[in-house]
């Protein structure tokens, strides 16, 4: 398991310790649980002066999931790892829905309204809410981890996706009058887009080749929308056939491949738009920031024989990665951004009309929506133990989102706090 964070009596960070030693301190009454996620102890007695070893926090930013890792560069040990799941696309969809409802309401209520787009300006470096939430999530966890351990340096993967090159591999010269100029391996993008599997048979953990969906011999282009991944047998079997002929007996697979090939580059655009903003905010923390390319990260991970995961990518960011990484026993903390609720005064139906009232009271029976609780139900139809995020009601009948699904109608009398609401949910 990952190591356990420890604070002294003044809430100053000490060296993270092995889980076995943490259990011993708890059983002997020398420490108490300070925070459940990430698991942190606080000592009850003043500890002797110890040399606190510096750690480097390494970040592998992503559009949907960001990898985090704490590495002891002196000993080459990965102390802690985590994966942070963003809610940027959910925010985008929510804002789109709100905009549609407001526009419909204005059309019903107002016959004509003057344009207002000329009296609105945006500050330099402005990011949309869906993008700024990604940066804010990463900064939150960098600062949170900095309060739990001695972080002296930051490493960030400063990926730069060339979306024009992905769209047209033959682009040159004046074709670059707009857009980013730096290149990024198209193969790496295709591996992410096609989930590292063969598009035709779904084979994994095998050699994959770049395949033209519409063959070059039949006027197929090198655009990324015409490329996929195929294993060697499928690639040879398809040859120069048109994909409609090759998959004429599998219409569902044909439809899925064509749809996925035209999938927009939303993920790469999100990473491009936030990378410099994140770098600037990390510099303002006051710690030295090292940057590395995606190619460097892959090289570091490959020569160390690590699996392709977000947290191992984070551990391998930058040239400062130790030659030998101690990764045994590391179990990542899975973090999902959930937000802090909504300010809606009422819920609406799909047409935008009010459908039900929203309570203005946050706390009910000592709990609020977003708290992580443990419910031990001893009677009724739902006898058992449930752990997860709670959704409160004024009646005291709560819903709990567990790893196995949603459990409804749990009385507040069975619930005890595990972790106060902080805008995130956790799993191990």
Question: If you average pLDDT over every residue of the chain, what do you get?
Answer: 87
In this prediction, residue 184 carries a pLDDT of: 43
Report yes or no on 255 lying in a domain: yes
Q: Find out whether 369 and 117 touch, Cβ atoms under 8 Å.
A: no
Beta bridge partners, 398, equal 410
Report yes or no on 350 lying in a domain: no
317 & 329 share domain: yes
C-alpha span between 419 and 316 (Å, rounded): 31
70 & 144 share domain: yes
Backbone Cα Rg of the chain: 26
Q: Would you mind telling me the total number of residues written for the chain in this entry?
A: 428
Q: Domain of 327: which CATH number? A: 3.30.420.10
What pLDDT digit, counting tens, does each position of 132-186 carry?
Answer: 999 999 999 999 999 999 999 999 998 655 444 545 555 554 443 333 323 345 7
The total of other beta-carbon atoms located within 10 Å of residue 408's CB is 10
257 & 405 share domain: no
What pLDDT digit, counting tens, does each position of 279-314 carry?
Answer: 999 999 999 999 988 888 888 999 999 998 999 999
C-alpha span between 313 and 300 (Å, rounded): 9
In this prediction, residue 267 carries a pLDDT of: 72
Q: Domain of 187: which CATH number? A: 1.10.30
Q: What sign has the CA pseudo-torsion 210, 215, 221, 226?
A: negative
C-alpha span between 258 and 225 (Å, rounded): 9
C-alpha span between 20 and 4 (Å, rounded): 9
59 & 153 share domain: yes
In this prediction, residue 314 carries a pLDDT of: 95
C-alpha span between 179 and 54 (Å, rounded): 40
H helix or E strand, kind and range, residue 333: strand 333-337
Return the DSSP state at 319: T
Report yes or no on 20 lying in a domain: yes
155 & 205 share domain: no
Report yes or no on 92 lying in a domain: no
17 & 154 share domain: no
156 & 60 share domain: yes
317 & 380 share domain: no
In this prediction, residue 172 carries a pLDDT of: 52
222 & 173 share domain: yes
Half-sphere exposure for 140 (CA within 13 Å, toward CB)? 16
Report yes or no on 245 lying in a domain: yes
> Token pair for residue 369?
């929506």
Number of domains forming the structure of the chain: 4
Q: Find out whether 67 and 85 touch, Cβ atoms under 8 Å.
A: no
In this prediction, residue 100 carries a pLDDT of: 87
16 & 59 share domain: no
Rounded to two decimals, the pTM is: 0.80
CA angle 300–302–304, rounded 5-degree value: 70
From first to last of its 428 residues, the chain has per-residue pLDDT tens of 689 999 999 999 999 999 999 999 999 999 999 999 999 999 999 877 778 999 999 999 988 999 999 999 999 999 999 999 999 989 999 999 888 888 888 888 777 777 777 677 788 888 999 999 999 999 999 999 999 999 999 999 986 554 445 455 555 544 433 333 233 457 777 887 888 899 999 888 888 888 898 888 888 888 878 888 999 999 999 888 888 888 888 889 988 888 888 776 677 778 878 889 999 999 999 999 999 888 888 889 999 999 989 999 999 999 899 999 999 889 999 999 999 988 888 888 877 788 888 888 889 999 999 999 999 999 888 999 999 999 999 999 999 999 889 999 999 999 999 999 999 999 98
CA angle 116–134–151, rounded 5-degree value: 140
77 & 141 share domain: yes
Report yes or no on 354 lying in a domain: no
In this prediction, residue 175 carries a pLDDT of: 44
Report yes or no on 405 lying in a domain: yes
Q: Find out whether 189 and 228 touch, Cβ atoms under 8 Å.
A: no
Residue where one domain finishes, among candidates 222, 237, 264:
264
Residue where one domain finishes, among candidates 229, 248, 264:
264
60 & 153 share domain: yes
Q: What sign has the CA pseudo-torsion 264, 128, 290, 334?
A: negative
C-alpha span between 419 and 428 (Å, rounded): 15
Q: Domain of 367: which CATH number? A: 2.30.30
Report yes or no on 257 lying in a domain: yes
Q: Supply the range of the domain harboring residue 299.
A: 55-87+134-161+267-337
SS3 (DSSP) at 427: strand
């Amino acid at each position: 398991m990952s190591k356990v964070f420890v604070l002294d009596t003044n809430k100053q960070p000490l060296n993270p310790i092995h889980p076995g030693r943490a259990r011993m301190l708890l059983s002997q009454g020398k420490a108490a649980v300070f925070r459940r996620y990430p698991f942190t102890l606080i000592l009850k007695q003043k500890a002797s002066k110890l040399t606190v070893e510096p750690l480097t926090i390494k970040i592998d930013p992503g559009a949907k999931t960001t990898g985090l890792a704490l590495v002891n560069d002196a000993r080459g040990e990965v102390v802690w790892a985590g994966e942070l799941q963003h809610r940027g696309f959910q925010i985008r969809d929510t804002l789109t829905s709100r905009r549609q409802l407001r526009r419909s309401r204005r059309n019903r209520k107002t016959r004509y309204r003057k344009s207002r787009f000329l009296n609105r300006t945006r500050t330099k470096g402005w990011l949309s809410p869906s993008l700024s939430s990604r940066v804010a999530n990463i900064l939150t966890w960098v600062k949170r981890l900095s309060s739990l351990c001695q972080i002296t340096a930051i490493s960030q993967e400063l990926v730069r996706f060339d979306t024009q090159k992905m769209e047209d591999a033959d682009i040159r010269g004046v074709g670059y009058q707009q857009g980013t100029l730096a290149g990024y391996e198209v193969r790496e993008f295709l591996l992410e887009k096609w989930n590292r599997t063969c598009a035709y048979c779904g084979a994994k953990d095998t050699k994959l080749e770049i395949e033209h969906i519409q063959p070059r011999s039949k006027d197929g282009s090198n655009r990324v929308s015409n490329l996929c991944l195929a294993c060697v047998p499928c690639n040879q079997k398809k040859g120069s056939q048109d994909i409609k002929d090759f998959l004429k007996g599998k219409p569902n697979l044909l439809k899925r491949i064509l749809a996925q090939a035209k999938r927009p580059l939303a993920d790469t655009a999100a990473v491009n738009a936030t990378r410099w903003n994140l770098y600037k905010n990390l510099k303002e923390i006051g710690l030295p920031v090292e940057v590395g390319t995606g190619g460097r990260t892959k090289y570091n991970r490959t020569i160390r024989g690590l699996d392709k995961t977000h947290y191992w990518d984070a551990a391998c960011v930058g040239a400062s990665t130790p030659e030998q990484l101690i990764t045994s026993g590391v179990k990542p903390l899975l973090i999902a951004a959930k937000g802090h609720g909504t300010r809606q005064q009422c819920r609406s139906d799909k047409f935008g009309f009010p459908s039900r009232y929203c309570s203005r009271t946050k706390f009910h029976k000592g709990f609020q929506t977003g708290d992580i609780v443990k419910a031990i139900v001893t009677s009724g139809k739902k006898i058992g133990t449930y752990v997860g995020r709670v959704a409160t009601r004024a009646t005291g009948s709560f819903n709990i989102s567990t790893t196995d699904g949603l459990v409804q109608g749990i009385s507040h009398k069975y619930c005890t706090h595990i972790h106060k609401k902080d805008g995130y949910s956790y799993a191990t």
